[in-house]
Amino acid sequence: MKFGPHVSIAGGLPNGPLNAQEVGAETFQIFSRSPRGGKAPEITKELLADFKKNLKDANIESFYIHAPYYINLASATPRIADSSIQILKDELKRGSTLGANGMMFHIGSAKDFGKEKSTKIVIKAINEILKDYKGTTKFLIENSAGAGEIIGATFEEIGEIIKKVKNKKHIGVCLDTCHMFASGYDFRDAKSLNKTVKDFDKHIGLEYLQVIHLNDSLKEYNSKRDRHADIGFGLIGKKAFELLVNHPKLNHLDAVLETPQKEIVYEKAIKKLIKMDLGHNK
């Protein structure tokens, strides 16, 4: 398993690999545009050359892009639904240009139409996004914590969507541990972890699992609340992460931390926290 953080691209996209290199990351995650809105910065030939040079110098072979937070494929407002589709199309294109392994996104909310109709709308939207897509960046559904009417909290929901995606070659899943725990999937002991892995394989298929977001949780099991904590400082606990990163069906994956520590503290902690304390080298 390769580990790394979500890093800043402040000052330009080429700073992403540099920031990852500074903390000794083996993989990393970035936003390629502001997650809150606005026009995406152009990927010029010069910028692309700088980005790829920095990536090579950092000796990092894999990285990921996170889509903006405001995506909602099931919105009743045409402007939001249509722009969500276009932005995700654009982010896949940008990811392929940069060489990203995957681009994860949050599906959106079913509050406007209810779960059944919203799921159909989401499937239609994903099929539109992937209809003519021939890029190299995987389109990754991220599981949700289950708050309100947010779609994708259960493996069954995600599996139902993937089953009806036509371009399965380019679809995958990003599994967030905080969201998983909050939505009722336990992994704090070996038995619970094995059950959760089996449930994922049954309803989605482990072949679709591409990357894991490693986040502890400030909120209790099955709380439906998305509140990240630093590894070992939340209610999931360090032992659970040691079991997860060493699980034989998961230990080949990339893992990205989205923990809340301030960057400078995180930079000093990452190698000890993940590689040493969690048994990366066992």
Tally of CB atoms within 10 A around 148: 11
Q: Judge whether 57 counts as a catalytic residue.
A: no
The yes-or-no answer on residue 254 being catalytic is: no
Active site residue 203: no
Q: Which helix (H) or strand (E) holds 256?
A: strand 254-257
Is 176 labeled as catalytic in the residue annotation? Answer: yes
Is 36 a known active-site residue?
Answer: yes
Name the catalytic one among 69, 156, 207, 220: 69
Q: Is 142 a catalytic residue?
A: yes
Q: Any catalytic annotation for residue 156?
A: no
- H runs (alpha helix) in the chain: 15-22, 45-57, 78-98, 115-130, 155-163, 177-182, 190-203, 238-245, 263-270
Catalytic-role residue among 170, 213, 216, 266: 213
172, 209 Cβ separation under 8 angstroms? yes
Q: Which of 26, 91, 142, 216 is catalytic?
A: 142
**Token representation of residue 59:** 């000796």
Catalytic residue among 226, 254, 266, 280: 226
Q: Is 69 a catalytic residue?
A: yes
User: Which of these is catalytic: 176, 185, 208, 254?
Assistant: 176
Catalytically annotated residue among 228, 254, 266, 280: 228
**Given the residues 66, 94, 170, 280, the one annotated as active site:** 66
Closest CA to 51 of 85, 2, 18: 18
What is the pairing mode between strands 216-217 and 209-214?
Answer: unpaired
Which of 6, 33, 94, 106 is the catalytic position? Answer: 106
Q: Among residues 179, 208, 254, 280, which one is catalytic?
A: 179
Catalytic residue numbers read 36, 66, 69, 106, 142, 176, 179, 213, 226, 228, 258
